A and B are shown apart, each in its own frame.
Chain A
């Protein structure tokens, strides 16, 4: 205090904190841990924030010799503690039991007006984009199933990936609808298209009745579903880990009692129709349930 011009501790700490946050932000983006925290669409903002923080920190170096202010920098603890928590305690994937994503969402609304415009819009996209190979070779459940998984296990830049998978999904949908008459292609719901398929199937349910479907998700047996019904569900991250929603399609399976809650399963079945809480919803008539590995990215992300 007596020679205040020497070194400004407050500024030094601020610089450290800013650089610390910037480093943490960049680390989670490049290690892909970011998918446990926020929706991929936030990533550009995170990189932007890291850049701004770094810039502020660098500029602040010139203030290091400024006289110390009267305030003691205790308030900086509010920034140091969260940073430590973020770095020391690794993020956790939730499951339905964590209580963070209660409230099952099975349906979209019932009329089909909007879904028509959706498929119109997406067919426009597909005519512009090149035809994705994975949907054009839709012959068996196995071949389609393995393709998206390989995408999933490679943690490429999530932004580019999500953008790419978006066009895939959108161009995949109209094609699936078009080849519906053939009736031999199987809908495969996985990490990249889970919510999109729920949306599509619920909105134009009548077009999809009788189609074979393969769903990967964890077993969710909520009260009120009934004895023989369960949902192979996924947690959907809408914005960040604070707003998770459980999504899935209702399944009718006579051995539901034997399924273990939260276990990861691959469900094969035929799309049918049922009611849930007074609303008409799709219901899968299950033919087979097999245990499966938990996917690398446990959450799904809506596409907007």
Chain B
């Protein structure tokens, strides 16, 4: 527990607790309560107006639950990997695999995703663990950005979605890797050190459970370690999952109330079309393993370059990812990262698509 001023040292612990409490959870709680109350009132007021509102609510509910059903298992996989790294793998090994010197780590980061075939929901907890283990943050970011795109399932689904045009899958992977690397390099210009980017609360948490999971670093029986790993995964499930729930909720609200035709009927060209497709990818948070099929439904109305923007930028950053990142990193860092990812994508895709498409 952090002590903010000297005077509080003398106060009994009971008095400190309510203060700490007020800061975070109850803020969120009151927000949630207000939203729920507002939603309920709205529901009561709109009820007489009939089916359209009700069907919207049902739509929202189905989309929301469906995103959670789909994302929780993958998030759990990510968390299990993250916990396994935490319990079983010494930090020095990981840093050896992702060496900061001579940019070798970037190379590992770019291709490590092949061996980790999950979508972006699972990647954030793993990437956060890498940073906590001392991996240079830009390298971890490169890993996070490239993994969902180089993921074999994503590649196969892209090939299926564009059955006669394998070059689209090829370009998606190529552009994705290049942009992931460029983003990582750009970020490294800002010289981010691990402790500076991680949320302070998060560094509290491992201490909080130090009793149960830091000790297995010593030699212990595998069964004990597996138990520690699962318990740690449970803790992480509840810290990260909260943000996933908020992200899924936001995504479902957008999906339910923002008509997709709004995007389809915009008759835009070149960079504007690219911008629109990127905005669409960000707001609708489609999974990288399936977004190629959605991309294809835009093929008739948007240029291939703009659709490429949807498929490359989408897995790297969207509403869901943004919130997952917030569960582990400081707001300032997440904001900076989002802007860099966006800018690099926009500029690079503009150039690449005019060159290749």
A residues neighboring B (CB under 8 Å): 1, 14, 18, 21, 25, 28, 34, 36-39, 42, 45-46, 48-49, 52-53, 55-57, 59-60, 63, 69-72, 74-79, 81-82, 85-86, 89, 91-92, 94, 98-100, 102-105, 108-115, 118, 199, 203, 236, 238-243, 245, 277, 279, 302-304
Contact = CB atoms under 8 A, between A and B. Distances in A.
A92 B62 contact: yes
A74 to B, nearest CB: 4
Contact of B251 (A86, A110, A242): A242
Interface string B220-252: 000000010011011001100110011010011
Interface residues of B, number: 72
B256 A100 contact: yes
B62 A108 contact: no
Contact of B65 (A85, A113, A243, A302): A85
Main secondary structure of the interface of B (DSSP, over half): helix
Contact of A37 (B66, B166, B234): B66
25 contacts: A37-B70, A45-B74, A48-B76, A71-B21, A75-B25, A77-B32, A79-B241, A81-B36, A85-B65, A91-B65, A94-B62, A99-B59, A99-B260, A100-B59, A111-B164, A115-B164, A118-B163, A236-B293, A239-B289, A241-B63, A242-B284, A245-B297, A279-B300, A302-B160, A304-B160
Given A14-B238, A52-B233, A112-B164, A92 B59 contact: yes
B20 A70 contact: yes
B72 interface: yes
A56 B256 contact: no
Nearest to A94: B59
Interface in B129-188: 156-157, 160, 162-166
Contact of A82 (B21, B68, B73, B162): B68
Contact of A109 (B55, B162, B234): B162
A192 to B, nearest CB: 17
A1 B14 CA distance: 9
- Nearest 7 Cβ contacts at the A-B interface: A239-B290, A241-B66, A49-B73, A45-B73, A56-B234, A240-B70, A37-B66
Given A36-B62, A102-B261, A59 B231 contact: yes
B61 A92 contact: yes
A98 B74 CA distance: 28
Contacts, number: 202
B291 interface: yes
Interface of B: 1, 14, 17, 20-21, 25-26, 28-29, 32, 36, 55, 58-59, 61-70, 72-74, 76-77, 80, 156-157, 160, 162-166, 208, 227, 230-231, 233-234, 237-238, 241-242, 245-246, 248, 251-252, 255-256, 259-261, 264, 284-287, 289-291, 293-294, 296-298, 300
Contact of A239 (B26, B241, B242, B287): B287
A211 B157 CA distance: 29
A303 B21 CA distance: 50
A256 B349 CA distance: 43
Given A109-B164, A118-B163, A240-B69, 13 more contacts: A28-B69, A34-B69, A37-B70, A42-B69, A57-B234, A59-B231, A70-B20, A78-B28, A85-B65, A91-B62, A240-B66, A241-B62, A242-B252
A242 B165 CA distance: 26
Contact of A70 (B1, B65, B246): B1
B261 A70 contact: no
B64 A82 contact: yes
A108 B66 contact: no
A59 B224 CA distance: 11
